Amino acid sequence: MGDEVIIGYSFWGFLGPGITDTPDGGRSHRRPLVDALIGRGHRLVFLQADRDRLEAGDDLDGRYAFARGLPEIDVLFLEWRWNIPGRNTTPCGTPGHTCDLHRQHELLDHYTIVRRIPTVIWDKDRQLPVGSPWRHRPGVIMCEAALAPTTGARSLLFPVDDALLDSADPHSLAASARPITLGYVGNQYDRDEEFDTYLAPAAARFPHQVAGKWPDTSRWPYVAFLGRIPFSQVHELYGGALATVLLLPQRYALAGQVTQRIFEALLAGCLPLAPASIRHVERFVPPWLIVRDGADVIDKLVHLRAIAGSREHVRLIAGCLRHLELFRLSAQIQTIEAVLADLAGAVRSGRGIG
C-alpha cells in the first residue's frame, strides 16, 4: 500500500439525513469520518447500496463513489452487520428483505478470504461473538467503539467533528430556553430495564419527550412517546431539553461504550446524566452528572431546573464539553491511520495480524 489507500467501505445506512423510519445511529458521525479520511488523501468507494439516493432521493451532490461490483481496493473497512431475522436473513426479493448481510458475506469471501485484502471490522453494535474466527484471522483488525474493547480489538470511538466541538459555546447553550426538563432520543432495543430504573420515574414527574422506536410501551402509559422523528429534528428536541439520560444495553455499559447520543445531546446544550453502571463512566461526564437510580435522576433534574441559565449551569456544560475530547474526530482518524499502517506493515512483511 502506498500513501493513497483505496478503502472499500461497507456500511448500511446513510451519509445524509436519510429517511425517518429506519435505525441508523451513524448519521451523526459517519460523514465527518468519511470526509476526514478523504481529506487525509485516501480514496473511498462505498460497497453497499446507495441508500441516500435510492431511499431518500439525495445524491449528496455526487461527491461519493458507490460500487455494486467488486472493485480494486487496498483495504476493506466494514461497519459490521449481523443476522436480523425476518429482515436480512430472508431470500433476496422477499418483502422486507435487506441485502446488507448477503453483501457483507460477498465482500468477505472475495476480498478477505480469496484475495487476502487487509480488512478492518468495526463492530459498532457489539454483535460479533467473542469466539468469532474473524477476531483471530490473519490480516484482520477488529475495532470496537468502547473504552474497554474485547481482548485483541482496538478502541475506535464514534467521532464528533472537531469543528462542532471547537465552536460549542457553554454560555449560549446555557442561555437557551429549555421548556422540556427531560428529553430522550433512542430506540427500545435492550433498554427496558435501564428505562425503568433511570428514566421512567423522572418522566412521571417532569415535562419530557421520548423519541425513537418503542414498539411496546404499555408499561409506561404516562410517558410521552413521540415515535421516530426525522434526523434533522434530533438537534431540535435536545435543544429544548434541559437533560437526558444515557441509556445503554448492558453489553455496551460493561465495555464502556457510550453511543453518539452523548454528543448529539450535549452539542445542543442538553446535559447527559450517566448511570454509574457504565464502565469508565467518569471519563464520559463530570462526577456530578453520574446517577445511581431513578431517585438520583429526579434530584439532579430538580437542581438543574433551579440553576438553569446560571454560571453553575455554564460550568457543567463546559465540563461536559471537555469530556467530549475522547470522541474528537481527529483522534479517531489517528486510530484509523495507525490501523492502516499496521495492515500495510503486515502486507510488506508477509506476516499476519490477529
Cell of 207: 415535562
Q: What is the pTM of this model?
A: 0.94
β-sheet with 225-227: strand ranges across:
225-227, 208-211, 180-185, 241-245, 271-275, 290-291
Q: What DSSP state is assigned to residue 218? A: T
Count of alpha carbons within 13 Å of 303, Cβ hemisphere only? 13
Res 170 pLDDT > 50: yes
- Residue 3 identity: D
Q: What digits encode the pLDDT tens for the residues 323-337?
A: 999 999 999 999 999
Strand partners, 66: 46
CATH 3.40.50.2000 for domain 162-327, yes or no, is: yes
Residue length of the chain: 354
Cα gap 206→57, rounded to integer Å: 39
Are 324 and 246 in contact by the 8 Å Cβ rule? The answer is no
Asked, colleague to colleague, whether 6-159+328-349 and 162-327 share their fold, the answer is: yes
State the pLDDT confidence band at 1, using cuts at 50, 70 and 90.
Answer: very low
Give the start-to-end residue ranges of the domains of the chain: 6-159+328-349, 162-327
Are 101 and 88 in contact by the 8 Å Cβ rule? The answer is yes
CA angle 162, 240, 31 (to 5 degrees): 30
Greatest extent of the chain over all pairs of C-alpha atoms, in Å: 63
Are 317 and 173 in contact by the 8 Å Cβ rule? The answer is yes
Cα gap 22→292, rounded to integer Å: 32
Look up the CATH architecture of domain 6-159+328-349: 3-Layer(aba) Sandwich (3.40)
State the pLDDT confidence band at 87, using cuts at 50, 70 and 90.
Answer: confident
Q: What is the pLDDT of residue 216?
A: 93
CA angle 134, 140, 142 (to 5 degrees): 75
Q: What is the mean pLDDT of residues 12-37?
A: 92
Q: What digits encode the pLDDT tens for the residues 233-248?
A: 999 999 999 999 999 9
Q: Inter-axis angle of helices 294-307 and 311-323, to 10 degrees?
A: 120
Give the number of other CB atoms < 10 A from CB of residue 330. 11
